[in-house]
Amino acid sequence: MNCIFCQIAKKELPATIIYEDESFVAFKDINPIAPIHYLIIPKKHITSINHLELQDKELMGELFLAAKKIAKTQGIADNGYRLVFNVGKDSGQMVDHLHLHLLGGKKLLWS
Ligand code: DGP
């Protein structure tokens, strides 16, 4: 499978990794739209939210806990941040590996 986010998770492609644990990698988005813009991905390849299985339930809970931890360590937990999943073509999902956008560092407008 030729998945760029799997390759980033395996360190076969470069990225600025800011967090890693057994199940997830988080790295700077190559095209940031906020002062802080990270992508948090499961190391397991899942194409999108549409492709989740019941067995992924615990992993997805852990994904949100990782996001909370990263927001805290990056100093944006108190001011607030936005978590976004794009799902499918109408959302603009460009990379077919489930990823959670973590955005912060400024007041975010909804547009
Ligand atoms: P989405 O539209 O939700 O699929 O967002 C994918 C994001 O991934 C987009 O904001 C740009 C980012 N991106 C795409 N390719 C790369 C890459 O090779 N490296 C990094 N760091 N980010 C990437």
Quote the tokens at residue 33.
């739209």
pLDDT for the residue 21? 98
Ligand 1 atom showing the smallest separation from residue 13 Cα = 18
Note down the domain range covering 58.
4-104
Phi, psi of 80 (to 5 degrees): 110, 165
Identify which of 13, 29, 47 to mutate to test ligand 1's pocket (most ligand atoms within 8 A of the CB): 29
**What is the mean pLDDT, run by run of 10 residues, along the chain of 111 residues?**
95 98 98 98 98 98 98 97 97 97 95 66
| Beta carbon of 86 within 6 Å of any ligand 1 atom | yes
pLDDT at 48: 98
CATH number of the domain that residue 10 is part of? 3.30.428.10
Q: Say if 100 falls within a structural domain.
A: yes
Distance 13 CA to ligand 1 centre (A): 13
pLDDT of residue 1: 76
H runs (alpha helix) in 1-111: 4-9, 57-73
Q: How many domains does the chain have?
A: 1
Q: Is 99 a catalytic residue?
A: yes
In a domain, 111, yes or no: no
pTM of the complete model = 0.97
Residue 111: what pLDDT?
66
